[in-house]
């Protein structure tokens, strides 16, 4: 995988995990509705994949001295990775009760996050435990904040 595809892949993968888990947690805690969570996953998979891909496109473009092929590799890697991995969170909600699907999504998301964090740490010659801990703590913070935001919304609306 070349530098630009790697960049798009790691960004898209991390974004898919964090945004989709945050969305699932917030929607579940505010509505408790499986159809709302499924709709949210489908919406964020498509809209955020385009948004992140365009953001990556513009970021690489703004670096200057980049060939169009390099820019489009980063763009397409971001889009496809974000779309596919965000959609992967849909599967448990199609076949399991909401509570079970939420827990399975958490496990799946953290497994992906740990895997990509480990690979990045090894590639950059960093201590994997430190990188994994940092990234997992950020994900936990997102889950806590989106859970309570969802509860707050449910209480006031």
Model confidence over 73-83: pLDDT tens digits? Answer: 999 999 999 99
| Domain span including residue 14 | 3-156
pLDDT of 118 > 90? The answer is: yes
pTM metric for this prediction: 0.94
Model confidence over 67-112: pLDDT tens digits? Answer: 999 999 999 999 999 999 999 999 999 999 999 999 999 999 999 9
When divided into structural domains, the chain yields a total of 1
Question: Whose CA is closest to 9, among 68, 65, 64, 52?
Answer: 52
For the CA atoms of 48, 23, 17, 129, the dihedral, rounded to the nearest 10 degrees, stands at: 140
Length of the chain: 157
CA distance 93 to 97: 7
């Amino acid at each position: 995988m070349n530098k630009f595809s790697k960049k798009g892949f790691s960004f898209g993968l991390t974004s898919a995990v964090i945004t989709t888990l945050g969305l699932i947690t917030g929607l579940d805690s505010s509505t408790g509705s499986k159809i709302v969570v499924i709709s949210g996953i489908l919406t964020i998979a498509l809209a955020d994949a385009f948004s992140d891909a365009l953001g990556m496109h513009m970021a690489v473009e703004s670096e200057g001295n980049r060939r169009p092929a390099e820019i489009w590799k980063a763009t397409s890697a971001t889009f496809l990775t974000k779309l596919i991995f965000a959609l992967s969170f849909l599967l448990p909600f199609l076949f399991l009760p909401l509570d079970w699907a939420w827990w399975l999504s958490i496990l799946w998301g953290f497994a992906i996050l740990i895997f990509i964090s480990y690979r990045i740490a090894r590639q950059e010659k960093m201590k994997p435990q430190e990188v994994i801990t940092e990234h997992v703590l950020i994900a936990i913070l997102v889950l806590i904040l989106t859970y309570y935001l969802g509860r707050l919304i449910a209480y006031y609306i």
